[in-house]
Amino acid sequence: MLTFKKRTLPNTLSNFLLDLPTPSFISAKWNFGFILGILLSTQIITGIFLTIHYSPRIIIAFKDIVHLSRDVNMGWGLRVLHINGASIFFGLLYLHIGRGLYYISFNFKSTWNIGIIILLIRIITAFLGYVLPWGQISFWGATVITNLLSVIPYLGNLIVNWIWGGFSVSRPTLNRFYTLHFLIPLALVILVMLHLIFLHNTGSSNPLGINSNLDKINFHPYFTWKDIIALLVIFRIFFLLALEFPNYLGDPENFIPANSLVTPPHIQPEWYLLFAYSILRRIPRKLGGVIFLLSSILIFTILPFIVKPKINSSIFLPPIKLLFWCFRFICVILTWLGICPVEAPFILQGQIFTLFYFFYFIFSFLTLNIWVKLLL
């Protein structure tokens, strides 16, 4: 058994990663962070190559996508890898956050809150990228989502018109979205580096929630090989989805050029944003919908401040594990309700599960503190 001294911020790459003291008993659930870093790099690289063949002008933006897919050598491959890479990225990101909830890793305040900021910025980046193909859903999705800013008192309509560059979604809007979609990932990379620095400064959590420096081994070679094997498994799924079912997760309406005179029968975002979109649509008033929409993400940032358990893992807390799996079920139902029309009985069901979504955090706080007192 190896014993390590209390670790300070490493000064060399070798100490930062290869010699990093890591709990010997962490499971495969701790591989998601490494895979997400590789996928982010893949998204940035494919995005750079895609931007070479794209022009942010409403007259030819849709034609550029068609030209890229049909005429550019391997252009179709770059596009399907970029689009489906976003889906795989969000799927793993939600699993990564879920692991943090399950094992109460949010006690590392700085690491956790930077991770939630990364999620929020990644959602904004995905929305901006979804507008660029300039299909029907792209145009109307941009119209609906940007209109949400009109709820800001006094300045709302002014801000919306400024973002649009006019009185409707048009060429200035597309040009600005393209620029932001290209620049925001640079800020995302900086946040990911900060996330890693804080993580490596405090050390990784573990399934047992042990804070001791006992029973730790070097990160390399034990966990590097473990991460590489997990990466190969995920990339096998990724390439299977991208090459065999490239458009399975897309919306058929987005294969139609944008038309401001024809509204699609059902406007919806990509699957990974459906749970938040479902919460937005089930609130009767626009202001309330926007508040609940933002709260559905930002509520994760307050967990480290309201929950301070003496046990850093739910493995000893059966009620917390049960609540976690109920929360997973609630998110799946909200995702399904996001594709359902706004009519009975889906409106009432959406409102009920929206309340369940937020009640999870209240019940977890109460249950966790009561159970810990009983246990200790």
Catalytic residue among 270, 296, 314, 364: 270
Residue 319 pLDDT > 70, yes or no? yes
Residue with tokens 């809150």: 113
Known active-site residue 270? yes
Q: How many domains does the chain have?
A: 2
Computed over every residue of the chain, the mean pLDDT equals 86
pLDDT of residue 25: 73
Identify whether residues 182 and 296 lie together within a single domain. Answer: no
Identify whether residues 141 and 80 lie together within a single domain. Answer: yes
Question: Within a domain: residue 273?
Answer: no
Identify whether residues 248 and 331 lie together within a single domain. Answer: no
Question: Within a domain: residue 343?
Answer: yes
pLDDT of residue 96: 93
Identify whether residues 255 and 336 lie together within a single domain. Answer: no
138-187 per-position pLDDT tens digit: 999 999 999 999 998 888 899 999 999 988 899 999 999 999 998 999 99
Identify whether residues 88 and 237 lie together within a single domain. Answer: yes
pTM of the model: 0.90
Question: Within a domain: residue 107?
Answer: yes
30-89 per-position pLDDT tens digit: 889 899 999 999 999 999 999 999 999 888 999 999 999 999 999 999 999 999 999 999
Identify whether residues 292 and 247 lie together within a single domain. Answer: no
Identify whether residues 160 and 185 lie together within a single domain. Answer: yes
Identify whether residues 180 and 43 lie together within a single domain. Answer: yes
Q: Kindly give, in sequence order, each residue whose CB lies less than 8 Å from that of residue 303, ignoring residues fewer than 6 positions away.
A: 101, 106, 112, 361
**Mean pLDDT of the region 221-231:** 85
Identify whether residues 359 and 262 lie together within a single domain. Answer: no
Question: Within a domain: residue 21?
Answer: no
Catalytic residue among 82, 96, 195, 200: 200
Catalytic residue among 226, 253, 286, 295: 226
pLDDT of residue 313: 64
Known active-site residue 204? yes
Identify whether residues 114 and 241 lie together within a single domain. Answer: yes
Identify whether residues 240 and 316 lie together within a single domain. Answer: no
Identify whether residues 372 and 228 lie together within a single domain. Answer: no
Residue 315 pLDDT > 80, yes or no? no
Question: Within a domain: residue 211?
Answer: no
Question: Within a domain: residue 310?
Answer: yes
Range of the domain at 97: 26-203+218-267
pLDDT of residue 10: 45
CATH of the domain at 198: 1.20.810.10
Known active-site residue 227? yes
112-137 per-position pLDDT tens digit: 999 999 999 999 999 999 999 999 99
Question: Within a domain: residue 275?
Answer: no
pLDDT of residue 4: 43
Catalytic residue among 204, 205, 278, 314: 204
pLDDT of residue 306: 74
191-223 per-position pLDDT tens digit: 999 998 888 787 777 777 666 566 777 777 778
Question: For residue 54, which of 92, 82, 30 has the smallest C-alpha distance?
Answer: 82
Catalytic residue among 96, 205, 216, 227: 227
Residue 353 pLDDT > 60, yes or no? yes
Dihedral Cα 221, 226, 227, 233, nearest 10 deg = 150
Question: Within a domain: residue 58?
Answer: yes
Residue 376 pLDDT > 60, yes or no? no
Identify the residue with better confidence: 76 or 316. Answer: 76
